[in-house]
Amino acid sequence: MDNHDELVYLAFDLGASSGRAILGRPDPAGRIGLEEIHRFANTPVKTDKGLFWDIEALFEQMLQAMRFVAERGIRLRAIGVDTWGVDFALLDENGEMLERPRCYRDGRNSGMSSRIVERIGAVRLVGRTGSMFQDITSLCQLTAAAEDTPDLLARARTLLFIPDLLRYWLCGSVVSDCTVASTCQMYDAVRREWATDILSELGLSAEILPPITAGPAIAGTLSRTIQEKTRLGAVPVVVGAGHDTGAAFGLCNTEDLPPPEDLVIISSGTWSVLGIFVEEHLQAGVLEPTRFGYEANPDGSLRIIRNLTGAWLIEQCRKVWSASGVDCSYETLVAAARAAAGEDNASAIIDPQWEGFTHPTEMPAAVAEYCRSTDQPEPQTPGQFAQVIFASLAESYAEAISELREKTHQPLRNLYMIGGMSRNKYLNELTGRRAGVSVIVGPAEAAATGNVAVQMQAVKK
């Protein structure tokens, strides 16, 4: 039974595959207890114009979760929203969306990062933004919009990243924070300012970019319209950890963990974001910008990150197997993968970042195709596929850790696994052996926990 006098925090944690509404209850010792009250799917919609997020449906699911809270008589101290990075919506002069946000996997972004580098120069772009050279960045998407839909872009007056858009619909505040801004390749996380010169050279307007908050803050309170729809009162809405990975990494610089020079962190969901804490950018040219970049933590500090494929491969395989009536629970697949280890048809190592895994018709067929093209045995059973995928993920983690050791001259002997994939003990074991690290398992709901922690900081100010 709920304690109606208890003050509770509501975290919306939206990933590229699903979203959750989670209640956070801090105890007197500062530990945060979590209760998931609503879960919903997040699937992009393909049209003849491209690949889009059904953002209105996601927001309606958020409202439904808030109604559940109201029905239980729970008093909310604050609400926070975190999501995946890079994607955004464009609003017109009336604050209305010009079109649904495009998904970072939209085909029109293909090859855009190389074209931008040709125009700006690799060294200058890295030095100014610190972002990885990937076709999915907001800068690539905005440049693609300028070429593909120039009339629409000309009508844009405001750009809001996904968490900012959802927060705007909750309370009307137009604001962003450094965690999500640092994913976009338009923000200088060291100087904490928009890289307006880069945008100008690409013929893009910086006037549509939102202001950035400095640390956790209250953006506003639920609008009257949202209060009426949800039957909640004027609950504060917090800004400060809009990027799910930023929220998760905000938990990891603590005294009970190894020191930064000896710690690698992997926050793993659909993507696995591997990172280490640093005080400043390394010397230009040390890191390969197609492999590594910089992002900001909620307090504004920096981390070096490598975006790697995470649960995407196995999740897409599970969809195919499930449709065929195959038992594909994680427990079953992990056990089957262990049993398949050592079998010839489970010995392949694939590149999880291979382009063919981005938009496959069927993921098992894409994995088999990769194995054929590289003269490796093809897996035949779900267990063999799972073994190939888990071993390949572990190998990609190990390669990134080895490269970071070489580039930073830090020992990095410990790996802190957080996020949903941290519960995969077999993957942790494979990674520990291949990377030569001691694996420490952290919270599976790291982003939601970090989201609540930032809310607590904001309301105490």
419 CB-near residues (< 8 Å, 6+ apart): 248, 266, 267, 268, 269, 272, 310, 444, 446, 447
pLDDT digits (tens, 9 = 90+) for 366-403: 999 999 999 999 999 999 999 999 999 999 999 999 99
The domain tally of the chain equals: 2
Same domain, 432 and 411: yes
Let me know if residue 1 belongs to a domain.
Answer: no
pLDDT on residue 3 = 59
Same domain, 214 and 320: no
pLDDT on residue 290 = 84
Let me know if residue 110 belongs to a domain.
Answer: yes
Let me know if residue 247 belongs to a domain.
Answer: no
Q: Choose the final residue of a domain: 177, 207, 242.
A: 242
Q: Choose the final residue of a domain: 181, 212, 242.
A: 242
Q: Is 244 a catalytic residue?
A: yes
Q: Are 265 and 247 in contact (CB under 8 A)?
A: no
pLDDT digits (tens, 9 = 90+) for 74-128: 999 999 999 999 999 999 999 999 999 999 999 999 999 999 999 998 888 988 8
Written as one string, the DSSP assignment of 268-312 is: ESSEEEEEEEESSPPPTTSS-TTT-EEEE-TTS-EEEEEEEE-TH
Residue located via tokens 């195919």 = 320
Better-scored residue on pLDDT, 132 or 170: 170
Among candidate residues 87, 164, 177, 244, the one labeled active-site is 244
CB count in 10 Å sphere of residue 280: 9
Q: Find, among 272, 363, 357, the residue nearest to 317 by Cα.
A: 363
We report the CATH number of the domain holding residue 72 as 3.30.420.40
Sign of torsion over alpha carbons 130, 134, 138, 140: positive
Per the DSSP assignment, residues forming a β-bridge with 212 are 176
Burial 427-446 (b: 16+ CB within 10 A, else e): bbebbbebbebebbebbbbb
Q: Are 357 and 393 in contact (CB under 8 A)?
A: no
Residue type (1 letter), 459? V
Report the alpha-carbon distance of residue 65 to residue 67 in Å, rounded. Answer: 5
Same domain, 142 and 266: no
Task: State the DSSP code for 49.
Answer: T
Report the alpha-carbon distance of residue 99 to residue 107 in Å, rounded. Answer: 17
pLDDT on residue 214 = 79
Alpha-carbon Rg for the chain in angstroms: 22
Same domain, 179 and 306: no
Q: Choose the final residue of a domain: 192, 209, 242.
A: 242
Same domain, 111 and 257: no
Report the alpha-carbon distance of residue 414 to residue 38 in Å, rounded. Answer: 34
pLDDT digits (tens, 9 = 90+) for 403-455: 999 999 999 999 999 998 999 999 999 999 999 999 999 999 999 999 999 99
Same domain, 69 and 218: yes
pLDDT over 90 at 216, yes or no: yes
Report the alpha-carbon distance of residue 421 to residue 58 in Å, rounded. Answer: 23
pLDDT on residue 4 = 53
pLDDT on residue 185 = 95
Let me know if residue 305 belongs to a domain.
Answer: yes
**What crossing angle do the helices spanning 425-435 and 382-408 adopt, rounded to 10°?**
40
Let me know if residue 461 belongs to a domain.
Answer: no
pLDDT digits (tens, 9 = 90+) for 157-204: 999 999 999 999 999 999 999 999 999 999 998 888 999 999 999 999
1: confidence class by pLDDT, cuts 50, 70, 90: very low
Let me know if residue 362 belongs to a domain.
Answer: yes
Q: Which domain holds residue 289?
A: 253-450
Same domain, 234 and 263: no
Same domain, 333 and 445: yes
Let me know if residue 33 belongs to a domain.
Answer: yes
Q: Which two tokens stand for residue 252?
A: 């990891």
Torsion of CA 317, 348, 305, 198, to 10 degrees: -80
Same domain, 22 and 66: yes
Report the alpha-carbon distance of residue 125 to residue 111 in Å, rounded. Answer: 16
- Calculate the average pLDDT of the chain: 94
Same domain, 229 and 301: no
pLDDT on residue 282 = 87
Torsion of CA 167, 172, 175, 181, to 10 degrees: 40
pLDDT digits (tens, 9 = 90+) for 274-297: 999 998 888 878 888 889 989 999
Let me know if residue 2 belongs to a domain.
Answer: no
Report the alpha-carbon distance of residue 161 to residue 343 in Å, rounded. Answer: 46
DSSP-derived 3-state class of residue 10: strand
pLDDT on residue 5 = 56
Residue 147's alpha-carbon distances to 53, 80, 100, 115, in angstroms, are 21, 35, 18, 12
Same domain, 26 and 98: yes
Same domain, 83 and 155: yes
